[in-house]
Amino acid sequence: MSEQQVNVEPAQDKLSAWTEWLGSPPGRYVLQWQQAQYDRTVCDFFGFHAVQIGLAALPALRESRMPLRVFCAPTPELVGTHPMQSYCEGSVLIERPEELPFETGSLDLVVLPHLLEFAEDPHQILREVDRVLRAEGRLMISGFNPVSLWGMRQGLARGILPDYLPRPCRMLSVPRLRDWFKLLSFDLDRGRFGCYAPPCRSDQWLARSAILEKAGDRWWPICGAVYFLAAVKRVQGMRMIGPAWKRTSKAAVGRAVVAPPTNRDMGK
């Protein structure tokens, strides 16, 4: 078996496991909540170029008003066959999101649904997004919250219970993402948690837990299973530095200057 086959097959296994989980009742549950967050947020951002990287099952840009919307697919099979075919103007194959094929400062909006937690180097992806976004450009991220019932359940799966989330998933906390934002050029603009139902596997039990949505949003808002973050790229303004010319005030010009007497004057 060649080295290329060794590297490709595990990636395909991760993608298939993730796709299979998204088709399950909890997968549809989180997709529905995230779809509502993206739909009511992307319509507030204006610009020309919007890009979504990953998660073909979630058309995050369908309500965007930007004229050019592009979906970046992780595998060749998804290019031209994703559900966002009617919302995006094109598809781009990006096998390594750590190296984005876009010019510096060329994008107005970048959307990363569940990309960082399945990436090998999530911080490098954010650095690349910082590079390709223009000043005041927007970044939106969604992912699983480790400080939740789902996060606790996934932690217990290590040798005790079967996995609830796909095993390649490495959840990133919101405080950690905020620290990364501070190291780069991003300011957190808005954020929200959701999906407060316990880690159930059936539609029946998820429907019975619907009452927890309003209660969780009020009483324990940071414990939702999924978070949604929107950040803006800030660039410090530049100031031209020139010679420091000394200006004489009008009061100084009109004021007489009396020189002290010299020895010659005192001898007269």
For every one of its 268 residues, what pLDDT tens digit does the chain have, with 9 covering 90 and above? 444 443 444 555 666 778 889 899 999 999 999 999 999 999 989 899 999 998 888 999 999 999 999 988 776 544 444 555 666 767 778 888 999 999 999 999 999 999 999 888 999 999 999 999 999 999 999 999 999 999 988 887 666 778 888 877 889 999 999 999 999 999 999 999 999 999 888 988 888 888 888 887 888 888 999 999 999 999 876 455 555 555 555 554 445 444 455 555 544 4
3-state SS, one letter per residue, for 109-149: EEEEECCHHHCCCHHHHHHHHHHHEEEEEEEEEEEECCCCH
How far apart (Å, rounded) are the C-alpha atoms in residues 54 and 263? 89
Question: Does residue 142 lie within any of the structural domains?
Answer: yes
Question: Does residue 267 lie within any of the structural domains?
Answer: no
Question: Does residue 246 lie within any of the structural domains?
Answer: no
- CATH assignment at residue 131: 3.40.50.150
Q: Please name which of 168, 161, 121 lies closest in space to residue 21, comparing C-alpha atoms.
A: 168
Q: Are 189 and 232 in contact (CB under 8 A)?
A: yes
Q: What is the pLDDT of residue 211?
A: 83
Question: Does residue 157 lie within any of the structural domains?
Answer: yes
Cα distances from 55 to residues 63, 87, 115, in angstroms, run 16, 14, 8
How far apart (Å, rounded) are the C-alpha atoms in residues 97 and 114? 13
Residue range of the domain that includes 155: 3-236
CA torsion through residues 74, 78, 79, 83, sign: negative
Q: What is the pLDDT of residue 2?
A: 41
Question: Does residue 153 lie within any of the structural domains?
Answer: yes
Q: What is the pLDDT of residue 79?
A: 46
- Contact residues for 55 (Cβ-Cβ < 8 A; gap 6+): 113, 114, 115
Q: What is the pLDDT of residue 178?
A: 95
Question: Does residue 258 lie within any of the structural domains?
Answer: no
Q: What is the pLDDT of residue 131?
A: 96
Question: Does residue 251 lie within any of the structural domains?
Answer: no
How far apart (Å, rounded) are the C-alpha atoms in residues 56 and 160? 32
Question: Does residue 254 lie within any of the structural domains?
Answer: no
Number of domains, the chain: 1
